[in-house]
Structure 1
């Protein structure tokens, strides 16, 4: 089998070594894969062009769409749900006290479960259908939310059912996102590396866009939470509809169809009607370093962002208090995460074998922010610094490395394994991403306990 070219001698050696270890495959499978490779060699001479990078931009757009509804939800939650719906005459109800923590629990669990189910191939059908279906479902959920925003005002009679319905919507949205995101990374794995990275860039642009919108909304609609919610969810709905239309357009592009068909042919010899654990073991053998890298990047990032960072109190700040966190925490992080992801398209260092090293070094960001002036009125742990600019640039470096190293991990994993395993490798990488987020969010309360107790 001819090794896939990736731009480095090291990658070629990986493939040559992997081919020597394929002795456990049946003769029929070997023949099928060899046949597929010969077809691919012929096809490489006539690869269609991605004219004006249309497929790249469509994938990037859908990277924005992957997280936009949820980003809008968590951004508007404190103002619209906690303060507007669940706070009465300035007094927080039990719903207000519990909503944010309940939202975190019901969001991460279904996302993780659906991602696992999708990786295990329990949900069948083409990946593209597993992308379009969640998009359609999420669009329907946003319409329901818009209906509630427009026609339902806070009242004692409505507060209980509104709380329950909101959590059900959150659960359904994140279950849908688990299928959408996991399938999306699997689909992008069939394309050249920059297309996998387009997904990561899109998710970080989504965060940047949401952060800018939050700052503008705070300045323009400071005392109008209902209007802010209407703007947020209307934008979400519009972009999801554009994402749906983009896939219809994408299916008409020869470049898109070429790589989809190429990926399907490469996997033809591996297709099974039942679960085959050997495929997962084989994929893990090639990609385990990338999986751990992706997991640790998101674990570190979500351990401190946004909860620990928002709790930092500087001695002095040059930013207005009402948009301080929006600029120093959210916009700063999302902007430089997007810059880091984009940089990975041009600079790829370190290589696949050594990416795990800087990803483990990033664990130092956890004590770095623990020893900042986080929760100054409640902490027992000593404070190492309270300077705003040390915090600001620490967040900048963490954000850049989060975007850069996560992009490298997501790009490397489908390409350090044989082509017939690339889709599965991309899906498992997306599962590691979700697992890292869930573990990081779960670790945040432990950080707070340590800061208060030690």
Structure 2
């Protein structure tokens, strides 16, 4: 390079520390062995380095990372794409357990069924707890999810990312293990207590999910964009897996209790594997180097003449600056998931087949599987970044509102007497529209998240990733609230 930089003392190769504080003092630069000039100074108090130019003219922008946290020299590589695969698997684990929880509707209907022959409940034997279960489920899932996703973003500099993520995983494992145990317990005599215990479990699961998802997006934002994409693709794969398990349980004729046991035991096992996957991810040299780089102090300065020094730059972003940088990507991801959750699954799962109204597989195939498979496909296309500006991306996300009247024209049941008759009389309409809906959800959602990560400087990557996760969760909550309006009015 153009600068005469101090050499390092020869030291045996040591594993790269996870935190910059763990670097041994012997790794500091030794000014006595400077190349070409013994007057070079290293000031430990302000971490500045003063070096002369070799050619005596020109300027150079230099980035140094304190105590070798950038890895020094040639950086580590993601051997065999191990980190990429682990991010993908953690994406599956972050949403698959919750997908299993919401898929087990038949199990909860059985647990909350009418067990009294003299019951006076309305709805032909349908109990009040059954009628209101999904409403309470949405409230007790979205509110803690939004609050704790925001809290996770607020404490990124105070509580370690590993602590938050491991705490969330352990909480989810404990809750799903307890929920699986409840399958084997006869709760017919205390259904109300079971109902509220379930709501408490829902809250705990979503608190854990908020910590896990927010921390994962914050971690992925420290890496190249393909790692955020891998995390998003993993989440979509979790939805596909849940839909396939649901269809398999229907084809095997599994009872409600057996299906519920399979869902919750599977969720517990997946979360345990995620815990092991995260511990393995932390030990990869490539991951440790990237995390160290994002947590290091960055120095940037022009050196116009001999004796000039490097100055401190790259200060942590304030919340105001972060929100300003993320304005359009955050609006995009909010709109994408708000529109999606306002229609899916509440309204779309109520669409019946025109040809065979009693079909058992129409909704699982044409709704659940079609949406999740198209969503995964859309996230795979995120490398083709067609919208050239973030404003155009937000406009495309807003344009998805056109799906609202299109789905209202499908054969959703039951329909109120004053409702407009369905305009689409073919069963092919639903899977086609759902596929387009899922494709746009996956593509625009993943592209918004990667644009948000790209807006961050490396020292602010975790905060920006956590904030994008918050706006994603806020979109989910807003969409769930809007779905109540549609289901109530229609």
TM-score class normalised by the smaller sequence: 0.7 to 0.9
- 2:329 aligns with 290
Aligned match of 2:107 in 50, 55, 80? 80
CA contact (8 A) 1:36 1:266 kept: no
- 2:199 aligns with 167
Q: CA deviation at 1:218?
A: 1.2
Residues 395-414 of structure 1 mapped to structure 2, 5 A cutoff:
395-414=434-453
Which contiguous aligned blocks of 4+ residues in structure 1 show a shift greater than 6 angstroms?
A: 28-32, 267-272
Q: CA deviation at 1:43?
A: 5.4
- 1:8 aligns with none
Aligned match of 1:336 in 352, 365, 374? 374
In 2, the alpha carbon distance for the partners of 1:400 and 1:260 equals: 32
Q: CA deviation at 1:124?
A: 3.1
Q: Secondary structure at the match of 2:416?
A: coil
Residues 224-303 of structure 1 mapped to structure 2, 5 A cutoff:
224-265=255-296, 279-303=318-342
Q: Which moved more, 1:89-98 or 1:323-332?
A: 89-98
In 2, the alpha carbon distance for the partners of 1:374 and 1:227 equals: 29
Q: Which moved more, 1:260-269 or 1:403-412?
A: 260-269
- 1:423 aligns with 462
Q: Does 1:116 align with 2:150?
A: yes
In 1, the alpha carbon distance for the partners of 2:352 and 2:272 equals: 40
Q: CA deviation at 1:270?
A: 7.2
Q: CA deviation at 1:387?
A: 2.1
In 1, the alpha carbon distance for the partners of 2:137 and 2:450 equals: 31
CA contact (8 A) 1:313 1:373 kept: yes
Q: CA deviation at 1:122?
A: 7.7
Q: CA deviation at 1:379?
A: 5.2
In 2, the alpha carbon distance for the partners of 1:194 and 1:44 equals: 23
Q: CA deviation at 1:92?
A: 2.3
> Over residues 347-378 of structure 1, what are the superposed CA-to-partner deviations in whole Å (9 max), with x where a residue is unaligned?
12213433112111111112221232223532
- 1:361 aligns with 399
Q: Which runs of 5+ in 1 are unaligned?
A: 1-27, 273-277
In 1, the alpha carbon distance for the partners of 2:285 and 2:211 equals: 26
- 1:13 aligns with none
Q: Secondary structure at the match of 2:360?
A: helix
Q: CA deviation at 1:271?
A: 7.7
- 1:65 aligns with 93
Q: Does 1:154 align with 2:182?
A: no
Q: CA deviation at 1:311?
A: 1.5
Summarize the Cα distance change of 1:242–1:253 in structure 2 as closer, same or farther, 3 Å threshold: same
Q: Secondary structure at the match of 2:428?
A: helix
CA contact (8 A) 1:290 1:352 kept: no
Q: Secondary structure at the match of 1:434?
A: helix
Q: CA deviation at 1:401?
A: 0.8
- 2:252 aligns with 220
- 1:18 aligns with none
CA contact (8 A) 1:190 1:259 kept: yes
Q: Does 1:433 align with 2:472?
A: yes
TM-score by length of 1: 0.84
Summarize the Cα distance change of 1:304–1:29 in structure 2 as closer, same or farther, 3 Å threshold: farther
In 2, the alpha carbon distance for the partners of 1:111 and 1:328 equals: 29
Q: RMSD over aligned Cα, in angstroms?
A: 2.7
TM-score by length of 2: 0.78
Q: Which runs of 5+ in 2 are unaligned?
A: 1-44, 50-59, 118-123, 299-311
- 1:144 aligns with 178
CA contact (8 A) 2:332 2:393 kept: yes
Summarize the Cα distance change of 1:86–1:129 in structure 2 as closer, same or farther, 3 Å threshold: same
Summarize the Cα distance change of 1:269–1:229 in structure 2 as closer, same or farther, 3 Å threshold: farther
In 2, the alpha carbon distance for the partners of 1:320 and 1:38 equals: 67
- 1:11 aligns with none
May I ask how many residue pairs the two structures share in their alignment?
412
> Over residues 278-323 of structure 1, what are the superposed CA-to-partner deviations in whole Å (9 max), with x where a residue is unaligned?
7111112222110001001001110100111112233225x98112
The structure having more radius of gyration, on CA atoms, is: 2
Richer in helix (by share): 1
In 2, the alpha carbon distance for the partners of 1:128 and 1:71 equals: 24
- 2:74 aligns with 46
- 2:56 aligns with none
Q: Secondary structure at the match of 2:155?
A: coil
Q: CA deviation at 1:154?
A: 3.3
In 2, the alpha carbon distance for the partners of 1:310 and 1:148 equals: 27
Q: Secondary structure at the match of 1:125?
A: coil
Q: Does 1:308 align with 2:347?
A: yes
